[in-house]
Structure formats: structure tokens, C-alpha cells
Amino acid sequence: MEKRLHLPPERIDRARELARRIVAPVQEFIEAHTTVTVERATLRLAGADGADADGVPVPNLVVDQLRDRLEEGALKYWVNALLRTGEGVAGLNRRVAEGLRVSDLPLADPIALEGKAAELVSACTRRVRGNRSLREERLARYAGKNHAPLLYVIVATGNIHEDVKQARAAAEQGADVVAVIRTTAQSLLDYVPYGATTEGFGGTYATQENFRIMRAALDEVVEKQGRYVYLTNYASGLCMPEIAAMGALERLDMMLNDSMYGILFRDINMYRTFVDQKFSRMINAWAGVIINTGEDNYLTTSDAVEKAYTVLASQFLNERFAFAAGLEPWQMGLGHAFEMDPTIRNGFLLELSQALMAREIFPEAPLKYMPPTKFMTGDIFRGVVQNALFNFVSQMTGQGIHLLGMLTEAIHTPFMQDRFLALENAKYVMNNMADLGDEVEFRKDGVIVKRAQAVLEETVAFLEKIDATGLMPAIEQGLFADIKRPRDMGKGLEGLRKKADGYWNPFETHLQRELGL
């Protein structure tokens, strides 16, 4: 895309250098620590699955047994149990669910442990590579059939089987991406429920079986429609790495996965979140998953005009954290949103400027553009107009992933007809002005160009301030989203562990090698 905002490249380079410096000490902390959910994710990749009679997942049972030894790595004891019992993975899952304590078994010879672990890593790698190859084959077969940007819709009935009906309808109506919204507060559960679920509030539980059911349903539509349909869920919250692992195993295509969202908007401890996001992103990178970051949420608590620079700053930081985890630019669905007060003068020009600025600064990223929500009201007619303007900006600025605004946004979970009307609105607007972006130039001294340049300058100044204070102190001071989070508080801190000198995680080692980290 032609550079039309005349943004100084040296200031963009300066912002990236500052982001690298800001993230570096956080990365040092990350590398020295693990968490209960990193260990559970590792067990899941090795095949740990199922639940006991009370519904406690097998990975939780194992990690709970090893509370005092997690700094060594939980996989050592799982692999040892396979050797000591002579069971296969399915048999060991059953025995752990019945009460076997892997923590009580004497450790086998280290060479035997290494050999068995290599078998588990190889088996998981074959499955993940197979999923990635299948996705790539279908995307190649149906190349050119998806919309640009990808039209993204949500389903959220609480019942996975009802979600399937809604998702199929949405895909047949033209949706390119279907996201299954998680049930309210699942992000605060320090375990992943087991099996298919039919009861959820405001969404549906993220479970591996639910992933499998929805992927199979959408695959049927893919063959019928001759167009690939991407499946999305949430690798966030207290089980961020585990959900990434489940997504890799069941061929999800996108994952909401932000470096700071859980800290700011769910009060999850920052140490825990930073460690968890790294391992979850390594899994996503390995599986070929596109992540979606959460900068749009900043604008629900901060003013979208005054604090636009915090969105861009977070995009730079999310990009740096993503690179550190092995993600490539095409996998970085950096987030932003159409959230300015619709009553302000020239608001549309400011929104256009912000969206185009992100596109020019991150040219290879499939930017995730979020619809107006904060200033939606019960006036559905004005809401349709707001969504049409949002669709206009998205198409004109070349966004990659476009979450459709719904007629009754903020009132209830969308009805099937809400999605249909949203899809029709987007297709109408985007088709009618498909090439407009290539036809327009902007005045160098005009509102759009000057606004983008000003936001970039504010972003550099903001990153300079964070570089001087450190990222964690900046979060404590409430510099992002006007929300303050102390580093020694927040949910999940008790699940953090400093790695021992002999920490053993063959999956982490394998991912580092595969991703060149």
C-alpha cells in the first residue's frame, strides 16, 4: 500500500527500538519462570486429558500433585509415570483420574526419560503439522474466495450444539471467520473444563471437545461453500497456554492473545500473564495460528481521541512480544477500534487517520479492526449508520480482519438475523467502494495526515516515558487504559514458579528450536 500519511520512518524506527528496549527486561523475567498453566499446557501437548469423577481435569490433578516440584517441570513426572506403569497415554490418563499419584513414583533413568519424551514430542508434532498442512492446503484450494478484509462474526449461545447451528448459518451467509465467545468469567478459572458443554452465560465454555465439534461443523460448510472458514477462540486468562495447546491440537485458526489484556481488564497478576503469554504465543506460532490482540479494549476505559497513542504504543509492544515468541508478521492481528464519540466534528476523518496509520506502520500484519460499541445506543437506525461508516473505513484502509458491528450491539448476544444484516451491510459497503483506497490521496497539511503524525509523535514520547520507568511500573501507574495494577497482586500470582537449574521441558526446547528462538 502506498504511504499516504507521510509518516517519518525514523520516528517509526525509534518507536520499535523503544519497544525492544522496554520488552527486553520483561523477557528476562519470563525466561526464568514457569507457571501452573504452562506446565498443564505442556502435559496437554504430551497427551494428558480427561477428568476425574468430580470433573477435575487430569492436567490439574498432575500439577496439583507436584506443587512443591513444579520448578523442575511437570513433564518429567508424567513421562516417568508412563515408563514406571507401562501404560500408554490413554491408560495413564485413566489411572490418574482414578487416583494414581505420579508424584510418588521413583524416577527412572534420565536417558529413558529423554527417549520417551522425544516420542511424545514427535507424536504431537506430527498432529500439529498435519493440522497446519490441512489448513494451508484448503486455503490454497479456495484462494480468492474469502472477503478482504475477512468478515468476522461471533456466536455465543452457551450451548455448543446451538453454537454450531448459528455458526453454520453465519458461514453460509458469508462470514469468513467465526469466533465462539467464551462464557462469562472463564478467563478467571484456573482450569479448563472437560468435554462438550451446554450451559454458559454470555458465551460457551472453551473446551477441547467444543473446539473439535465446532471445527468439524465448519469443515462441512467449507466443503459445501468452497470457501475456507476460520475458527477463533480465546487464548487468554489464567489458562492462556492450555487453550493455545488445545487450539493447536484441534486446528483453530485464530486466537485472541494479548500480552497485557489479562492484567489490565481481568486483574490477573502481571508476572503470571507475561510468562503465560510467551508460551501460548510460541504454541500459536508453531501451529500457524493468527493471534488477535486487544488494543480495542483501551478505548472502552479511555477516550479514543485523547488516548489514541496508547493504542499505537501497545501495538508496538505486542509486536515485540510476538517476535520474541516466534510469531511472524502475517500472524500478528494487531488490534484497534472505531470507538470515537460520533458527535465530535470530523470524527470520521480521525478514525480514518488512525486506521490508515496502523496499516502503514504494520504493513504485513492482518490488522484486527473492532466495531463501534462504546457509543452504541438503543437507536438501532443510528447504529446501522455507525457500522456502515466503520465498514467504509475498514475497506478503504485495507484492514485484515473485520469484526462486524451488530444491529443490537451491547443489548444482547446477536440473533441470527443480526449477523445476516451485519454481513449484508459490510458486503454492500465494501463492494461498492472496493478500490476507493487506491484512488484517494491526502493533503500533506490536512486533518488526516496531521492527526496521524501527531499520534505517532505522542506514541514515541509515551514509549520514551515507559522506557525510563519500565513496563511493569508503567502498568502500576495506570499509564495504559487508565487502570492501575500492582505487580505483587492480582489473580493467579500463587501459580508462578521460578525455574530450577534443572528445569526440564522438552516441548519448550522443541518449540524454541522450531521457531529459531
Active-site option among 261, 298, 309, 369: 261
Pair 329, 364: CB distance under 8 Å: yes
Active-site option among 368, 369, 374, 491: 368
Query: What's the grid cell of residue 277?
Result: 503469554
Cα dist from 495 to 8, 78, 272, 410, 434, whole Å: 44, 19, 7, 34, 49
For CA atoms 379, 381, 382, 384, give the dihedral sign: positive
152 counts as catalytic = no
307 counts as catalytic = no
323-332 per-residue burial string, b: 16 or more CB within 10 A, e: under 16: bbbbbeeebb
For CA atoms 433, 437, 438, 440, give the dihedral sign: positive
191 counts as catalytic = no
Residue 35 sits at φ, ψ, to 5 deg, of -140, 170
217-247 per-residue burial string, b: 16 or more CB within 10 A, e: under 16: bbbebbeeeebbbbbbbbbbbbbbbbbbbbb
Residue in the structure block whose three cell numbers are 468478515: 151
Query: What's the grid cell of residue 58?
Result: 487430569
Active-site option among 176, 253, 258, 296: 296
Q: Which amino acid is present at 203?
A: G
Q: Are strands 33-35 and 150-155 parallel, antiparallel or unpaired?
A: unpaired
Query: What's the grid cell of residue 244?
Result: 493455545
Just list the catalytic residues.
261, 296, 368
